[in-house]
Amino acid sequence: MEGATKQHFFFHGLPGREAEKSKCHFCQIRSFTTHAEYPITITNIHDELVLEPGFRFVQNSHLGRGVQRANDEFRVGCDCQDAEECQYEGCTCLDELEGSDEEPDEDNIRYRRKKYAYHSHGVKAGHLRTEVLESRDPIYECHDGCACGPDCPNRFIDKYLGEIITPKEAARRRAKSDISQRKDVYLFALDKFSDPESPDERLRGPPLEVDGEFMSGPTRFINHSCDPNLRIFARVGDHADKHIHDLAFFAIRDIAKGTELTFDYVDGVEDSQNDAMNPATTKDMTPCLCGSKKCRGYLW
């Protein structure tokens, strides 16, 4: 991208071009802190469509009106001094993580319990542990409020970003959209911890939602497949903010270079609950065009 757009970036670096640069999609991605190591190119090889001028690439989700994080007095992070302590010495961030692995110590004498959701070393570093990958369990991680540093392996890679909005605002945007089902492509409910009996009032009612239509990251452009190679997991950093947990992407199988990344937009819905299995309702549903052998025929 840098070579092909050298002149483009030169002009946007000139005085008086600040407003134009702030609206430029190429410049927004180029400003990402990860761009030097993981550069991203925007390319459309299918048609002449371009991004809406008002769309904005962001590195972090934005909190919409009426959405708040927990107050500082409710925040807590682990006191671990290094990655070794986080992994083996009972990191408080991982107390709610289901299950654990065991591995031998350096002398191959006793086994130590591993608590990370994914492998932290070797060829599988960054891969979810099998039992987590095959589950619907949330992932718990360290975060900015922890004593351990940013190099702690218990920290995540990428997620679905957008504006986090209230249920009322989500309903208003659906109603305003010309085709409400089209709007659902961009809205993701943060409902992993929803529970009418929860002691946390923020988890008892309708969940907040992430809207990626007008601002998001590159993951916003990942398409649906009924036979996907990615899956979204709920990721929790600070336990006081479960109501605004992250939606983290992980590969569920090895993905060859050049293969399109996909995930199931209706993942977690049982066939018995899926309207696509009911011929009486499919006439009003959105056809699925994923083309996989496991295609269900309809999205929603």
Shared-domain flag, residues 161 and 215? yes
**Strand 111-114 with 139-140, pairing:** unpaired
Shared-domain flag, residues 156 and 292? no
pTM for this predicted structure: 0.76
Shared-domain flag, residues 148 and 249? yes
- Digit-coded pLDDT (tens) for 119-143: 766 777 667 777 777 777 888 877 7
Q: How many domains does the chain have?
A: 3
Q: Is 298 a catalytic residue?
A: no
Nearest of 163, 252, 178 to residue 209 by alpha carbon:
163
DSSP the chain: -TTTTHHHHHHHTSTT-HHHHHT-HHHHHHTSTTTTTS-------S-S----TT-EE-SS-EE-TT--PPPGGG------SSHHHHHHTT-GGGTT----EEEE-TTSSSEEEE--SB--SGGGTTPBPHHHHTS---EE---TTSSS-TT-SS----B---EEE-HHHHHHHHHHSSSHHHHTTTEEE--TT--TT-SSHHHHSSPPEEE-SSEE-GGGGPEE-SS-SEEEEEEESSGGGGGG-EEEEEESS---TTPPPEE-TTTT--GGG-GGG-TTTGGGSPBP----TT--SB--
Q: What is the CATH number of the domain that holds 156?
A: 2.170.270.10
**Percent of residues, the chain, with pLDDT higher than 70:** 71
Shared-domain flag, residues 88 and 114? yes
Shared-domain flag, residues 290 and 195? no
Residue from 116, 140, 186, 265 carrying the catalytic annotation: 265
170 band by pLDDT with thresholds 50, 70 and 90? very high
Mean pLDDT to the nearest integer, 187-204: 92
Question: Structural domain of residue 299, as residue ranges?
Answer: 274-300
Shared-domain flag, residues 157 and 251? yes
Shared-domain flag, residues 164 and 256? yes
Look at residue 32 in the predicted model and tell me its pLDDT. Answer: 82
Residue from 116, 160, 186, 298 carrying the catalytic annotation: 160
Shared-domain flag, residues 5 and 85? no
Look at residue 274 in the predicted model and tell me its pLDDT. Answer: 53
Shared-domain flag, residues 163 and 251? yes
- Digit-coded pLDDT (tens) for 228-238: 999 898 988 88
Mean pLDDT to the nearest integer, 214-224: 90
**Percent of residues, the chain, with pLDDT higher than 90:** 24
Phi-psi region of 250 (alpha: psi -120 to 50; beta: other; left: phi over 0): beta
Q: Is 88 a catalytic residue?
A: no
**Strand 223-224 with 262-263, pairing:** parallel
Nearest of 59, 82, 57, 70 to residue 237 by alpha carbon:
70
**CB of 242 within 8 A of CB of 203?**
yes
Shared-domain flag, residues 296 and 241? no
Shared-domain flag, residues 199 and 159? yes
Shared-domain flag, residues 8 and 120? no
Q: What is the Cα–Cα distance from 236 to 75, expressed in whole angstroms?
A: 13
